[in-house]
């Protein structure tokens, strides 16, 4: 069974998120939609 990734509670450094295998969900594609109000 695959081990779950750690939740990045209190972690604000992106490099630390990636190098320490924290869960990260990239929602960059949603920024335009949010800005346009759709």
**8-32, pLDDT tens digit by residue?**
999 999 999 999 999 999 888 888 8
Measuring CA to CA, which residue among 3, 8, 2, 38 is closest to residue 23?
A: 8
Please check the confidence at residue 5 and state whether its pLDDT lies above 70: yes
Count CB atoms within 10 A of the CB of residue 3. 6
pLDDT bin (cut points 50, 70, 90) of residue 38 is low
- What is the value of pTM for the model shown? 0.55
Q: What is the pLDDT of residue 12?
A: 93
pLDDT at site 20: 93
Residue with tokens 């695959």: 2
């Amino acid at each position: 069974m695959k081990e779950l990734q750690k939740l990045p509670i209190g972690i604000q450094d992106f490099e630390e998120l990636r190098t320490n295998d924290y869960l990260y969900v990239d929602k960059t594609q949603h920024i335009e939609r949010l800005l346009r109000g759709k």
